[in-house]
Structure 1
Amino acid sequence: MRMLVRLILGLFVLKAVVASPRFSRQADLDSYDSANYDVDLDNSNLENQDIYDYEEGLTIDDPQIEIGTLAPPDYNYPVPETSIEEEAEEEETEEEEMPLKPQLVPQGSGGSGVLMGPDTQKDMPTCLLCTCLGGSVYCDDLKLDSVPPLPKDTTHFYARYNRITKINKSDFANMNKLKRIDLTANEIKSVDDRAFMGMPQLEELVIRENHISQLPALPETMSLIDASHNNIGTKGIHREAFKDMTSLLYLYLTDNNVDYIPVPLPDSLRSLHLQRNNIQMMHEDTFCNLKDFNYIRNALEDIRLDGNPINLSRTPQAYVCLPRIPIGDLI
């Protein structure tokens, strides 16, 4: 009877062991290893012991561990230092990319033939002292006290807001391409009478805001003359100075001491500014032709005489050929 009880208890223990999860997993692992790797279980006691020890730490409630690939850590790799030779090559590349400096012009104006010397401030070439763009030379606000020698191909010259006191005949000698000269706001007191006569293509002259008392002779090619804000008086304009300027469009003599309208004026003239002078009278044929009542002067549509001691209503016949009455006092 005692043997039967032991047998029954042994069966219950065996059934419990077989039904346990640990045994099931071990059985599955053993069958998997035997089927795939043909492991000799008799000679692998150490491996079985390792597996057993590993499984001893696991329970049914233990969370499953998902094995994956971890992202590599972020490393800040050091940047290799630039060698001396590479730095030199980079500096050479930067120098090649820099804009080119103005080139030395081989010959200047005024018969000097050079661009170095006292006529160019600080012994510098004109195109380094000034700015040369194509045929234009800009020398504004450089404290110049004289006209610098210019390249022979100069077409436009600007030297505004400087300290130039005199215009010499040699300053623009042999400048055959020069079309415009602008000397606004200098300290010019005298101009050689034929200083601008050697330029066959000169069209525009601006010498406003200076101290000029005598308007120099100008070529017949002029289209714009601006000598406003000077000291030009009664004898400051040559007789019939503008008669043969068949291309003259604009004549500005504002803020001077002129006491008459400088007739005859070319038919091409569009704008005449004489405001704030000392003009006191006007003739009836100043603008019109009294011998031809059919004559109409369509071009001259801008006449400024305001600021003069003249009564425009006293000479009504002087405006019959004009498209507009001059601006000024009518009383």
Structure 2
Amino acid sequence: METLQATFFLFVFVPLVNPAPPLQQESLQFYEYDTDVSMGSLTQRDYEMQPKDIRKDGINVSLDTSLMLQSDDSQLDVPPTKDTNLPTCLLCVCLSGSVYCEEIDIEAVPPLPKETAYLYARFNKIKRIAASDFADITTLRRIDFSGNRIEEIEDGAFAKLLLLEELSLAENRLVKLPVLPPKLTTFNANQNRIKSRGIKANAFKKLTNLAYLYLGHNALESVPLNLPESLRILHLQYNNITTITDDTFCKSNNTRYIRTRMDEIRMEGNPIVLAKHVNAFSCLRMLPVGTYY
């Protein structure tokens, strides 16, 4: 009798599994401007992202790689930066309208993806900001250049940034301020080399949304003129301020005028004795911080 051989086929059914969901964007807070530290770094590196391993489609990938996988095609097409041969979104981290280019030693503002809303380029070697750097990026709302080597900002560099609300130029080498965009709410130029002649008389007058102004640790000889009514916090500590007038904060011709929004003025570390200028503070709800004797 012939031996019958049967061939058995084993079919294994593997259930389909949906790929892992994309990494959710974490909530990143903009650092608090200024501290009580007099000469140390006034910025806190609260954006540092620790490397993590995550899974995407069953494959272990690094956080940076995952972020790149989430970037849209337009971001991947950003041209190379001026200082490397890498496209911006490979050199930096591009995530949901934010570009993080921190501590990578770039010497110029990198080309940004269109629709960029937030740029963090802290602690680099940028020396100059050109008008062409933001000519096509009108969607910016926040820019942070803290801790660079910026000495010059070309006229009109921020002219087209009509949505910009927060701008930090702290810890640079500026001797004068650029023309600022109209919708700013927060401006930080702490720890530069700005003198009073480097600030135009009407530099802040039309900034009707400006609430936080930080000019501490510079070389100002006087309080800037025409401060807007919207101002809540003004830091002028550790400058060279020697004079103040009755019209600096108040209106000498209107004894009933009160600055209702001003919550804090810091003027410690200046050679001025504030007690000699009592009338200059008559419209304030509280006296400035500083030397009174």
Q: Same fold (TM over 0.5)?
A: yes
| Cα distance, 1:184–1:105 mapped onto 2, change above 3 Å | farther
Task: After superposition, give the CA deviation of every residue in 1:38-78 in whole Å (9 maximum; x if it has no partner).
Answer: xxxxxxxxxxxxxxxxxxxxxxxxxxxxxxxxxxxxxxxxx
Aligned counterparts of 1:118 and 1:179: Cα–Cα separation in 2: 22
The unaligned stretches of length 5 or more in structure 1 are 1-92, 109-113
Residue in 2 that maps onto 1:293: 255
Retained in 2: the 8 A contact 1:156–1:180? Answer: yes
Deviation at 1:293, TM superposition (A): 1.8
CA contact (8 A) 2:81 2:87 kept: no
Indicate if the aligned counterparts of 1:162 and 1:185 stay in contact, CA closer than 8 A.
yes
| Partner Cα separation in structure 1 for residue 236 and residue 258 of structure 2 | 22
Judged with a 3 Å threshold, the aligned counterparts in structure 2 of structure 1 residues 195 and 220 are, in CA distance, closer, same or farther, namely same
1:261 corresponds to which residue?
223
Q: What CA distance in whole angstroms lies between the structure 2 residues aligned with 1:105 and 1:148?
A: 18
Greater relative contact order (CA < 8 Å, ≥ 6 in sequence): 2
Counterpart-to-counterpart distance in 1, 2:88 and 2:75: 11
- Matched with 1:5 is none
Identity of aligned residues (%): 42
Q: Aligned match of 1:195 in 157, 164, 168? A: 157
Question: What's the TM-score once normalised by structure 2's chain length?
Answer: 0.75
Paired position in structure 1 for 2:188 = 226
The list of structure 1 runs, each at least 4 consecutive aligned residues, that deviate by more than 4 angstroms after superposition, is none
Q: Within 1, Cα distance between the matches of 2:280 and 2:97?
A: 44
Kept in 1, the 8 Å contact 2:190–2:214? The answer is: yes
User: What SS does the corresponding residue of 2:122 show, helix, strand or coil?
Assistant: coil
Cα RMSD after superposing both structures: 1.9
Q: Shift of residue 96 of structure 1?
A: 3.5
TM-score by length of 1: 0.67
Instruction: State the distance in 1 between where 2:225 and 2:190 align.
Output: 18
Give the 3 Å change call, closer, same or farther, for CA 118–272 of structure 1 in structure 2.
closer
Give the secondary-structure state (helix, strand or coil) at the position aligned to 1:122.
coil
**By percentage of residues, which structure has more helix?**
1
Q: Which amino acid in structure 1 is aligned with residue 216 of structure 2?
A: T
Aligned partners of 1:95, 1:246: CA distance in 2, in Å? Answer: 47
User: What does residue 15 of structure 2 align with?
Assistant: none
- Equivalence for 2:87: 125
Question: What is the aligned length?
Answer: 233
1:118/1:132 CA distance change after superposition, 3 Å: closer
Shift of 1:126: 1.3
> Aligned AA for 2:102?
D
Say which one has the larger Rg.
1
The 5-angstrom pairing of residues 252-331 of structure 1 reads 252-331=214-293
Unaligned runs of 5+ in 2: 1-19, 21-54
Q: Distance in 2 between matches of 1:290 and 1:214?
A: 29
1:96 aligns with 2:57: yes
* CA 1:196–1:227: 2 relative to 1, 3 Å: same
Pair 286,197 (structure 1): closer, same or farther in 2 beyond 3 Å:
same
Give yes or no for the alignment of 1:135 onto 2:103: no
Residue correspondence of structure 1 range 61-76 to structure 2 within 5 A: none
